[in-house]
């Protein structure tokens, strides 16, 4: 199990896992903002991607106890993502502070990042699979 964990950590897969988690959370917030574009008084929400990735990259170990040889060690879960509420009182849409053009741009950017993370994680898994099978 220790070798397994070391191989996965060295492969870069945890980095892409964290990227997928953060972009998935960001996608949900952008979708909420778009859904509430005409809700009076709604405040837009976002994630500081750079800070969240820096936070996710810090090694955080949680001691776990495995009581049976058949238990699978728990994977490191990303810490809770901090949601930023935009308290700006300007009403860009005439109803609230959601700027639909900004949200559509964020949606596109987030989709690119998520696709990149998913593709890179798949490439890493395929490389590991190839090494295990003994083919290059």
Question: What count of other Cβ atoms lies within 10 Å of the Cβ of residue 60?
Answer: 11
Q: What is the pTM of this model?
A: 0.71
- Helices 100-133 and 13-35 pack at an angle, to 10 degrees, of 160
Q: SS in 3 state form for 14-26?
A: HHHHHHHHHHHHH
pLDDT at residue 73 is higher than 80: no
The range of the structural domain enclosing residue 94 comes to: 2-133
Q: What is the pLDDT of residues 18-40, one digit of tens each?
A: 899 999 999 999 999 999 998 98
With 80 as the cut, is the pLDDT of residue 83 above it?
A: yes
What gap in Å lies between CA 3 and CA 9, rounded to an integer?
10
Alpha helical stretches, state H, the chain: 2-11, 13-35, 49-57, 100-133
**Count: domains in the chain:** 1
CA distances from 109 to 4, 27, 103, 105, 135 (A): 34, 10, 10, 6, 36
The confidence score (pLDDT) of residue 80 equals: 77
What average pLDDT does range 96-100 have in this prediction? 89
**What is the rounded average pLDDT of the residues 109-121?**
94
Residue 109 has pLDDT above 90, yes or no: yes
């Amino acid at each position: 199990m220790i070798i397994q964990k070391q191989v996965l950590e060295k492969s870069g897969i945890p980095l892409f896992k964290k990227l997928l988690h953060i972009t998935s959370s960001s996608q949900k917030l952008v979708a909420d903002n778009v859904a509430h574009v005409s809700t009076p008084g709604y405040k837009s929400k976002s994630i500081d991607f750079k800070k969240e990735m820096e936070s996710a990259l810090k090694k955080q170990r949680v001691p776990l106890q495995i009581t049976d040889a058949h238990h699978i060690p728990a994977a490191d879960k990303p810490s809770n993502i901090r949601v930023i509420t935009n308290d700006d009182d300007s009403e860009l849409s005439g109803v609230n502070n959601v700027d639909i053009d900004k949200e559509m741009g964020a949606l596109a950017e987030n989709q690119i990042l998520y696709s990149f993370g998913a593709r890179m994680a798949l490439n890493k898994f395929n490389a590991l699979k190839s090494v295990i099978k003994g083919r290059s």
